[in-house]
Amino acid sequence: AQKVTQAQTEISVVEKEDVTLDCVYETRDTTYYLFWYKQPPSGELVFLIRRNSFDEQNEISGRYSWNFQKSTSSFNFTITASQVVDSAVYFCALSEGGGVASGGSNYKLTFGKGTLLTVNP
Amino acid sequence: EAQVTQNPRYLITVTGKKLTVTCSQNMNHEYMSWYRQDPGLGLRQIYYSMNVEVTDKGDVPEGYKVSRKEKRNFPLILESPSPNQTSLYFCASSLAGYNSPLHFGNGTRLTVT
């Protein structure tokens, strides 16, 4: 069964600090997708990034970067020079590719429990 | 505007009184899903649907029903709500299922007394 662990329940930083949110996953499938979503205080859920299991290239988008390492089953998210607007709950999620190892469950998406990031001015 | 629309945003009801939370998307997405969000538990999948008339259970389906009679609509039905179903519910859709990003509705906060 697939599993996503976000060990950091809450993180508090001061503006302009860099912060890394950890995500560790478990899957028996060789084909899978990893996602990060953001939930600001207003409550909506916003997609940030998707990574497939065959693409281990790290990605940078402005102040955001993602480090995908299959060797450690991790997909960590770093915010550089954090800002107050980054305050939110961040969720990591895993979707398996529907192969035999996943029992054919093509469409189940498992979320971690989320990390509450508070950026203080 | 591309969106997933849930109604109502807030709902207070009593134990045992059947209710339906509606969900509609205008993006012609194949995949739709329902999640509940509870403190300390994150988001848990209730049911999902890959296409019209095709639905399957997620991780916490007990006490819920769904139907997918039309591609755009995916209502969540609580036949006999109980207080442990008090939660924040999200509907979501995506183009093709497991490999596509989800578009979420704004959520429905349900309280069952």
Tell me the residue type at A102. S
Higher pLDDT, A109 or B26: B26
pLDDT band at A36 (very low <50, low <70, confident <90, very high): very high
For chain B, how big is the Rg over CA atoms in Å? 13
Average pLDDT over residues A31-46: 94
Residue B85, φ and ψ in degrees, nearest 5: -95, 5
* Predicted pLDDT at B103: 94
Over its length of 113 residues, how does chain B's per-residue pLDDT go in tens digits? 889 999 999 999 999 999 999 999 999 999 999 999 999 899 999 999 988 988 999 889 999 999 999 999 999 999 999 999 999 999 999 987 778 899 999 999 999 99
| CB-closest option in A91, A95, A98 to B43 | A91
Tell me the residue type at B71. K
| Residues of B in Cβ contact (< 8 Å) with A6 | 42
* Predicted pLDDT at A96: 81
Between A68-77, A80-89, B51-60, B81-90, the lowest mean confidence (pLDDT) is in: B51-60
Closest approach of A18 to chain B, Cα-based (Å): 24
| Residues of A in Cβ contact (< 8 Å) with B48 | 107-109
- Measured CA to CA in angstroms, residue B110 lies from A105, B14, B59, B91 at distances of 29, 11, 19, 13
DSSP reduced 3-state for A70 = helix
Check whether A49 has a pLDDT greater than 90: yes
**Closest CA relative to residue A114, chosen from A11, A28, A2:** A11
Q: Where are the alpha helices (DSSP H) in chain B?
A: none
pLDDT band at A91 (very low <50, low <70, confident <90, very high): very high
Residue whose entry in the numeric block shows the structure tokens 């349900």: B110
Residue whose entry in the numeric block shows the structure tokens 């009593």: B14
Q: Do B104 and A113 touch (CB under 8 A)?
A: no
- Scanning B1-30 for CB atoms below 8 A from A yields none
Token reading at A10:
């809450």
Mutate to test the interface with A, among B1, B37, B98, B108 (most CBs of A within 10 A): B98
Q: How would you classify the pairing of strands A59-61 and A3-5?
A: unpaired
| CB-closest option in A6, A50, A97 to B101 | A50
- How many CB pairs below 8 A link A and B? 66
